[in-house]
Structure 1
């Protein structure tokens, strides 16, 4: 139901192997997708991932630090130059709207499509429905600037027609069956067939949390009770964080792993790695620290890695 494509997995600055933060989330039921954060160079990553700006529906910015938003203006401009006409929703801190307005004024930014800006504070702890399939709500985190997590809920309504009963009652297969499955009643052979009597409706739902920078993962305790996967920063190992100190206000692999274990979280994806961990040995160090404290299913994301959360809430 949800396909995650990591466009950037580095913290602070890009490296030869990792760009700064960006995550594409696609609803597998259609071509629409959303973008969580847009660090510098994100539009190049979008091109390589073969994602279309025409089908980009929502951009969410977790916080105003440059490695999470400096690629936004160029991306918006490119969408305009590619003749985008459809409305684009931006959910972000209010400062992002101010920055966009000033940039548009000073640089003649041409946007031939409407932007619907939503202050992230307006959807704190309440759902904003993107369409009939997707909704978003926000949770406040703890960082040097206001930072947020986005809770993405996807649902699919499946309608199964009671074929055997219809056969027994003699209703011929064809258009009439389709009409019933679409929720409409029909009359056939002087008999009324009510859709509700022949259609079994089931709702499949999955939920993912994508967090911005945050040194207090416990702020997501309530949200994780219903989440199928948490995507969260692991900027440092605990040993490096102890040396660096608390001032950067980032999370270590140990902190995240202990939190995920305490909430019985089924799936975890670690991202936002400090450049000191971008080689094979560094990634293994992060992996080993998470594995020591978390017994669940986890991955350490690389740029262009893809993971799918299917309708049964299995992450592959």
Structure 2
């Protein structure tokens, strides 16, 4: 479980930073979170495998968070995608895409499985045997949601070196499920504790896009292993942050401290800042385990 930052900038573009986007790598699958203008070029630059993209999550409908989406959707079609793509985002996003596809006369060879988010109530929007994806409300100038991506508990690890070579295959599944096994032929009992080990604890990524400082979100992201939180400004522009419904670096760090997360990544920097060292210093004074979002950098989601 690794997070690659693709874009670190906010609404006004500058040469040094791309608009918001991040990719969560789950091994043989990946999740794109937000898709600002030029995201597909960032994916190419950092050698992201388009074929592994299974989910796209859009936090809100400000352009720096989704203007790259139709281009990426079209590229996936042009490169031969036939597998459905799960798209989770605000009400109205499906209408925007439909109009764009209609008037460009683009016909997709794959299905867009669109699921609308609820900007006022937390809810689980996707779940399978590996992960769950939940949303929670953020306070911004337009409806906006954060995302929590949580691994499901893994099966127990088999200590194969302790088992006989002819150990029946159906018994492996039982051991993984935490059961003791009795071999009906030999009568031998295989105690689960002797032949398995605990799996790695499931990990959680919390993604807090554009939002005013809001301690209410702590209840939804408590004890996350890695949290991304916007920090558009530093403390000298706290009033500006309040007016525009954004956060400062210190405020993002305070949310991380209150939530007891393991590590904080701050990003979405205003274009007025050319140097970012003071963002890191400000945040670390409140929450020491803070790092800056850097485009192309990969952040491992730490185990608990």
TM-score relative to the length of structure 1: 0.86
Q: Distance in 1 between matches of 2:147 and 2:38?
A: 22
Q: Deviations over 1:274-297 (max 9, x none)?
A: 1122x3xx2111112112222x31
Q: 1:107 aligns with which of 104, 107, 112?
A: 104
Question: How has the CA–CA distance of structure 1 residues 292 and 195 changed in structure 2, closer, same or farther, with 3 Å as cutoff?
Answer: closer
Q: How does 1:1-316 map to 2 (within 5 A)?
A: 2-27=1-26, 30-121=27-118, 124-161=121-158, 173-176=164-167, 178-183=169-174, 187=183, 189=185, 191=187, 200=196, 202-203=198-199, 204-242=201-239, 244=240, 246-277=242-273, 279=274, 282-294=275-287, 296-310=288-302, 312-313=303-304
Question: How has the CA–CA distance of structure 1 residues 220 and 306 changed in structure 2, closer, same or farther, with 3 Å as cutoff?
Answer: same
Unpaired runs of at least 5, structure 2: 176-180
Q: Distance in 2 between matches of 1:76 and 1:175?
A: 49
Structure 2 SS opposite 1:293: coil
TM-aligned CA deviation for residue 217 of structure 1: 3.2
Q: Which has the higher helix share?
A: 1
Contact 1:11–1:67 (CA under 8 A) maintained in structure 2: yes
Q: Distance in 2 between matches of 1:133 and 1:308?
A: 18
Equivalences, count: 298
Contact 2:223–2:260 (CA under 8 A) maintained in structure 1: no
Q: Distance in 1 between matches of 2:103 and 2:114?
A: 20
**Aligned-CA RMSD value:** 2.5
Q: Distance in 2 between matches of 1:232 and 1:134?
A: 21
Q: Distance in 1 between matches of 2:39 and 2:159?
A: 48
TM-aligned CA deviation for residue 178 of structure 1: 4.6
Q: Distance in 2 between matches of 1:54 and 1:44?
A: 15
Q: Distance in 1 between matches of 2:71 and 2:191?
A: 50
Contact 1:24–1:36 (CA under 8 A) maintained in structure 2: yes
TM-score relative to the length of structure 2: 0.89
Q: Distance in 2 between matches of 1:200 and 1:123?
A: 43
TM-aligned CA deviation for residue 109 of structure 1: 1.9
Contact 1:176–1:186 (CA under 8 A) maintained in structure 2: no
Unpaired runs of at least 5, structure 1: 167-172
Q: Deviations over 1:234-257 (max 9, x none)?
A: 000121233x36331111112222
Moved more, 123-132 or 214-223: 123-132
Question: How has the CA–CA distance of structure 1 residues 254 and 160 changed in structure 2, closer, same or farther, with 3 Å as cutoff?
Answer: closer
Question: How has the CA–CA distance of structure 1 residues 241 and 183 changed in structure 2, closer, same or farther, with 3 Å as cutoff?
Answer: same
